[in-house]
Amino acid sequence: MVSGSGIAQAFKTLLNLFIFGITTLALLSASFAIYFGYLYEKQGPLKAPIEITINSGDNIAARLHDAGIIENELTFKIAARLSNQSKKLQAGEYAVPAGISIKSILNQLVEGKTIQRQITIREGLTNHEILLLLNGSKTLKPSQPQMGYEGLYLPDTYSFQKGDSTSDILEQMRSAMEKTLFEQCKIEAQITKLEDILDYPCGTSHLKTVRDVITLASIVEKETAQADERAKVAGVFINRLRINMPLQTDPTVIYAITEGKHENNGKGPLGRRLLKKDLEIDSPYNTYKNAGLPPGPIANPGRASIEAVLNPEEHKYLYFVADGTGGHAFGKTLKEHNQNVSKWRKIRKNSN
Write the DSSP assignment of 228-245 as a string of letters.
Answer: GGHHHHHHHHHHHHHTT-
Alpha helices in the chain (DSSP H): 4-41, 60-66, 73-82, 102-111, 127-135, 166-184, 210-223, 230-242, 250-258, 303-310, 334-351
Calculate mean pLDDT across residues 328-343: 92
Neighbouring-strand partners of residue 331: 319
Q: What's the pLDDT at 21?
A: 55
> Half-sphere exposure of 201 toward its Cβ, with a 13 Å CA cutoff?
4
Q: What's the pLDDT at 205?
A: 73
Calculate mean pLDDT across residues 26-38: 56
Distance of alpha carbon 137 from alpha carbon 16, whole angstroms: 74
Residues 6+ apart with CB under 8 A from 349: none
243 band by pLDDT with thresholds 50, 70 and 90: very high
Q: What's the pLDDT at 116?
A: 85
Distance of alpha carbon 292 from alpha carbon 124, whole angstroms: 21
Q: Where are the domains of the chain?
A: 50-111, 127-315
What 3-state class would DSSP assign to 187?
coil
Alpha helices in 144-226 (DSSP H): 166-184, 210-223
Residues 6+ apart with CB under 8 A from 129: 260, 262, 264
Question: Are residues 52 and 94 in contact, defined by beta-carbon separation less than 8 angstroms?
Answer: yes
11 band by pLDDT with thresholds 50, 70 and 90: low
Distance of alpha carbon 281 from alpha carbon 81, whole angstroms: 72
Would you identify the CATH topology of the domain 50-111? Answer: Dna Ligase; domain 1 (3.30.1490)
Q: Which of 177, 50, 166 is nearest to 119 (CA)?
A: 166
Q: What's the pLDDT at 235?
A: 96
Q: Please tell me the chain's helix, strand, coil percentages from 3-state DSSP, rounded to the nearest 5.
A: 45, 10, 45
6 burial type by CB count under 10 A (0-12 exposed, 13-18 middle, 19+ buried)? exposed
Alpha helices in 42-72 (DSSP H): 60-66
Q: What does the pLDDT look like over 289-320, one tens digit per residue?
A: 999 999 999 999 999 999 999 999 999 999 99
